[in-house]
Amino acid sequence: MLLDNKTAVVTGAGRGIGRGIALALAKEKCNVVVSDLDLKNCQSVVAELKKLGVEALAVKCDVSKKSSVADLFKKAAKTFGKIDILVNNAGIFPFVPFEKMTEADWDKVIDVNLKSIFLCSQAAVKVMPIGGKIINISSIASFVGFEGLVHYCASKGGVNGLIRALALELAPKKITVNAVAPGAIETPGASKASTPDSVKQTIAMIPLSRMGKPEDIAGATVFLASDMASYITGQVIVVDGGWTLR
């Protein structure tokens, strides 16, 4: 197995893409710390992972708060001793027209989507051995604009800039830092913001003529977390069915 005897922390893993990533890691025999704001969702995912024959831990965490992040990594390190892989997946995308966007709207998205990567990555490297992997979930919104998501697009652009600089700083420790940029993915959060017509319009934009699935993002994440990607760092892998080729 690609990740046998490794341990990963996955944020925002209670559902959607994060859950898909946690399951994919577990299928490669990686132990997983499942983190999310909703502890019940975390515990549900942990039950799924344990059926795959790995160890798993559920931890409630607000990734925008330093104290909460510190507690997450303290519990993870106490349980598993080290963290080989960090997947910064937690993120939010509330649609707000720019002229109506408040400072609080802006701050919340930046804190959850960007500040969290600073906090979690800084905490992780303290317990990450040589050869560790940090994978961040970015978005094609870091390359193309979306109306009503100025704050989100800015946060994901920030993620792409952060990984390049952090990759350089952590290279002496042989810790790689990369990102996966999803396109349109079928998740509970995306479904709430969609209508049948908007889904049709979205699919019309995608050369492969389908919405992505959490498994599509999970596959790229597992690759970056494995030794097959040991010479890749500071890069963004776009997984969007060809959307950004237009």
And the tokens for 106?
A: 């802006």
DSSP assignment of 77-136, as one string? HHHHS---EEEE---------GGG--HHHHHHHHIIIIIHHHHHHHHHHTSPPTT-EEEE
Tell me, yes or no, if 152 is annotated catalytic.
yes
Other C-beta atoms closer than 10 Å to the C-beta of 49 total: 24
Q: How many residues does the chain have?
A: 246
Q: Which of 34, 152, 179, 241 is catalytic?
A: 152
What CA–CA distances, in Å, run from 7 to 104, 148, 149, 225, 239?
35, 37, 34, 11, 24
Q: Point out the residues that are catalytic.
A: 152
